[in-house]
Amino acid sequence: MTMATATTTDPMLPQPYSVRQVVKETADTFTLTLEPSNGAGGNRFQPGQFSMLWVFGVGELPISISGDPAERNRLAYTVRSVGQATHALVSREVGGAVGVRGPFGTGWPVEKAEGRDVLVVAGGIGLAPLRPVIYEVLHHREKYGRLVVLYGARSPRELLYRKELAAWARQHETQVLSTVDYGGLSWRGQVGVVTTLFKYARLQPERSLAFACGPEIMMRFVARDLETRGLARENIYLSMERNMKCALGFCGHCQYGPHFICKDGPIFRYDQMRPLLEKYEL
């Protein structure tokens, strides 16, 4: 692979990766596994970081890394097709090219979670950036206390990683609960928003760290509820989303009050976010 005069250190130039695997998760959501086209080692990442994925001639988007941080040479992304660029991305076939920049942004503070109970709260596609945390905890089970995963989706058919959810639930000291907005006849699980699962979570709030990702309104309720259940604001982390064109703090699009979500986030402590979350059209 030649890069002509372009320097590989230029943070604005995508590196060519090729698609190794495409897994259909739901009707509109796919997990793509990418490997560098030039055989070079993949980029290491921290759970919660994201990449900018470029589809040749179409566009570039921020997408969280959803794979296992222990897998050094591949990067997995779970993408929900909602528009032109995400559609083009999920339509890539095995062997196709995707440009990758990154990883960018802050990760979930997994080190801080050592010796504590870990509570993962996800809504919809929000489970994707949290899956690396689950892998991390399960790989190093002895370092952490209990792992509780609470997951909400619109309907049973929209639950991501269904097989894995079941497998995680069988792990030692691990609890996985899902809920849906609309259950249908065959659904035997919970119905309702994700906060309705809190009462079933077996963990000690004072020694827990919570990581949440989902629609902003959901995170607002989740954080508020967790606080009333005894988690300190400083122990609740949220992954925020805004429009992003560069991921480097140059394009200005992702500003959220004083923060650039791309470089100061996307993961923030709830005590930093709380005053901003109240502000409509900030």
Partner 1 sequence: MHAPALLTLDQLARLVPALHSRGYQVVGPTVRDGAIVYDVLEGISDLPVGWTDEQEAGRYRLRRRNDDALFGYVVGPQSWKKYVHPAEVRLLTAERSGHTFRILNNDPSPPRRAFLGVRACELAAIAVQDRVLQGDRYRDPIYAARREGIFIVAVNCTQAAPTCFCTSMGTGPRVRGAYDLALTELVGPGKHEFVIEAGSDAGAEVLAELAPSAPSEAVCQEAEAAVERAASQIQRRMDTTGIRDLLYTNFDHPRWDNVAQRCLTCANCTMVCPTCFCTTVEDVSDVTGMHAERWRKWDSCFTQNFSYIHGGNIRSSAKSRYRQWMTHKLASWIDQFGSSGCVGCGRCITWCPVGIDITEEVRAIRESPASSKESSHGNP
Ligand X SMILES: Cc1cc2nc3c(=O)[nH]c(=O)nc-3n(C[C@H](O)[C@H](O)[C@H](O)COP(=O)(O)OP(=O)(O)OC[C@H]3O[C@@H](n4cnc5c(N)ncnc54)[C@H](O)[C@@H]3O)c2cc1C
Residue numbers of the site for partner 1 (CB under 8 A)? 1-7, 10-14, 16, 18, 37, 54, 56-60, 82-83, 95-97, 99, 241-243, 245-246, 248-253, 255, 257-260, 263, 271-273, 275-276, 279-282
Q: Which of 18, 20, 37, 59 binds ligand X (CB under 6 A)?
A: 59
Tokens linked to 183: 């259950």
Task: Output the smallest distance, CB 245 to ligand X, in A.
Answer: 6
Our CB check for partner 1 shows the closer of 47 and 99 to be: 99
Question: Applying CB under 6 A, does 61 fall inside the site for ligand X?
Answer: yes
Among 25, 158, 227, 241, binds ligand X (CB under 6 A): 241
Question: Per rule CB under 6 A, is residue 178 in the interface with ligand X?
Answer: no
Size of the site for ligand X (CB under 6 A): 22
- Among residues 15, 46, 86, 175, the one that binds ligand X under rule CB under 6 A: 86
10 binds, among ligand X, partner 1, none (CB under 5 to 8 A by kind): partner 1
Q: How many CB atoms lie within 10 A of CB 151?
A: 24
Cβ distance to ligand X smaller for residue 63 or 210: 63
Report how far residue 248's alpha carbon sits from residue 262's, in angstroms, rounded to the nearest whole number: 7
Q: Which does residue 63 bind out of ligand X, partner 1, none, counting CB within 5 to 8 angstroms by kind?
A: ligand X
Residue 128 binds which entry of ligand X, partner 1, none, CB below 5-8 Å type-dependent: ligand X
* Cβ burial, residue 152 (10 Å; 0-12/13-18/19+): buried
Q: Which of 52, 54, 80, 127 binds ligand X (CB under 6 A)?
A: 80
Which residue, 147, 204, 143, is CA-closest to 171? 147
- 109 is in the binding site of which of ligand X, partner 1, none (Cβ under 5 to 8 A by kind)? none
Residue type, 57: G
Burial bucket for residue 143 (CB in 10 Å: 0-12, 13-18, 19+): middle
Should residue 64 be labelled a site residue for ligand X when binding is judged by CB under 6 A?
yes
* Helices (runs of H) and strands (runs of E) counted in the chain: 6, 15
Q: Which residues contact 5 (CB under 8 A, 6 or more apart)?
A: none
- Segment 110 to 129, residues that bind ligand X, using CB under 6 A: 125, 128-129
Q: In angstroms, rounded to a whole number, what is the distance separating the alpha carbons of residues 247 and 12?
A: 9
Residue 275: is the preceding peptide bond cis (ω within 30°)?
Answer: no
Radius of gyration (C-alpha) of the chain in whole angstroms: 19
- The site partner of 185 among partner 1, ligand X, none (C-beta below 5 to 8 Å per kind) is none
Binding to ligand X by residue 236, rule CB under 6 A? no
Instruction: Please name which of 251, 271, 56, 187 lies closest in space to residue 261, comparing C-alpha atoms.
Output: 251
Which DSSP state fits 231?
-
Instruction: Report the interface residues with ligand X, using CB under 6 A.
Output: 50, 59, 61-64, 78-80, 82-86, 125, 128-129, 241-244, 266
